[in-house]
Amino acid sequence: MAETILVTGGCGFIGTNFVRHMLGKYDYHIINLDKLTYAGNLENLQDITGDDRYTFVKGDIADTADLERVFERTIDVIVNFAAESHVDRSIIDPDAFIKTNINGTFNLLEMARKKKVRRFVQISTDEVYGSLGATGAFREDTPLAPNSPYSASKTSADILAIAYFKTYGMPVLVTRCSNNYGPYQFPEKLIPLMITNALAGMELPVYGDGLNVRDWIHVIDHCAAIDLVLHRGEDGNVYNIGAGKEKTNIDIVRLVLEILGRPESLIRYVKDRPGHDRRYAIDSGKITKNLGFRPSVDFAEGMRQTVQWYVENKGWWERIKTGAYLDYYEKMYGNR
Ligand code: NAD
Ligand code: DAU
């Protein structure tokens, strides 16, 4: 019988792409446990709901009763994507970040320990390393120095996961990836926010001087790297994941406008994010050397395809950019 993988947060951006990747390549049974927060969208995987290798369960990783219910079935592997993921929201209201990212991961680790799952992959982030100066890159042994409530909560989960390997010998692995872009990303994050605002003829709010640097990877390359870690990674190890595409925010925004053929007059510099990390850059030498990881998507082409996806899926983001989203936007950008 095929093994069962519990994917948490599978209705979010990366989880959606990962579920598709796995069903396209393997014969596993995938259980997608998702709370369906503002960021979780059932529409993302609507077309595979009839696939008998796929089961959706609405539930909260921070709620042990929900986990007990899911674990009535045999789960072989856990890939934990479920998280509150947006730095700006963590600055306004960190509470859910602590509950989901820390307590939720703890509950999952405990359940995995009790049920003796074969493998536990914790999806962490390069933000655990904090901020870089003008040179250098994060390695797996770079000291952890998170700066936002989001990154602090992800760091807590990440080191808790490693502690379960060290203390209980649990088969835990941790991935720390850089900034993702691609289809199905919620339009609160830089790239989809800029694309959808530009398409709607709205201003593009650039924080501070626009010279903060992020290191971009296409989401399908991130999913391929997780697949490698899941199948070939070594227990107790951390793997950085990146594609070596460092860009300033203003260059990203200009590129989006250029692809869409919209004017740069839409750009508006706004008040900076508090505690804004200046630069991220990932050294992914370990996963390259040990697991043979090679990103496959060319950045310029990946960006063109991503912009095209948002052009072709206007209904998807227009349905999101209503109601609670508009309240969030007003609160976040209204007085900036
Ligand atoms: P997302 O916000 O798009 O999706 C998060 C998903 O988790 C949503 O479907 C949401 O409903 C679900 N969720 C939230 N709280 C939950 C809970 N308590 N129980 C069950 N489900 C819950 O996030 P994303 O961008 O897809 O990120 C996925 C993971 O990857 C996160 O752990 C994030 O920290 C990590 N990560 C993201 C990036 C990036 O660039 N987006 C980079 C590196 C790592
Ligand atoms: O590095 C990995 C992380 O990347 C993930 O762990 C997070 O889940 C993910 O949200 C992302 O965090 P960032 O804070 O880097 O992403 P965000 O898209 O929010 O912002 C990217 C950069 O763009 C950052 O320097 C802030 C800036 N920005 C963002 C928004 C939303 C703007 O200038 N204007 C904006 O409106």
Report the CATH number at residue 191. Answer: 3.40.50.720
How far is the C-alpha of 242 from the C-alpha of 175, rounded, in Å? 10
Contact 134, 184 (CB under 8 A): no
Catalytic machinery residues: 126-127, 150
> Per the structure, how many domains does the chain have?
1
Residue-level pLDDT at 336:
87
H or E element, residue 253: helix 249-260
Q: In what order do the strands lie in the sheet with 77-80?
A: 54-58, 29-34, 4-8, 77-80, 119-125, 172-177, 238-241
How far is the C-alpha of 141 from the C-alpha of 154, rounded, in Å? 17
CB atoms within 10 A of CB 235: 12
How far is the C-alpha of 271 from the C-alpha of 158, rounded, in Å? 31
Distance from the CA of 34 to the center of ligand 1, in angstroms?
A: 10
Residue-level pLDDT at 332:
96
Q: Report residues of the chain scoring pLDDT below 70.
A: 1
Q: 321 in ligand 2 pocket by Cβ < 6 Å?
A: no
Distance from the CA of 14 to the center of ligand 2, in angstroms?
A: 15
For residue 132, the enclosing domain spans 4-333
CA distances for 29 relative to 116, 118, 304, angstroms: 18, 15, 33
Q: 207 in ligand 2 pocket by Cβ < 6 Å?
A: yes
pTM of the model: 0.98
Distance from the CA of 76 to the center of ligand 1, in angstroms?
A: 21
Residue in 103, 102, 148 with CA at minimum distance from that of residue 129: 148
User: Which listed ligand is nearest to 280 at the C-alpha?
Assistant: 2
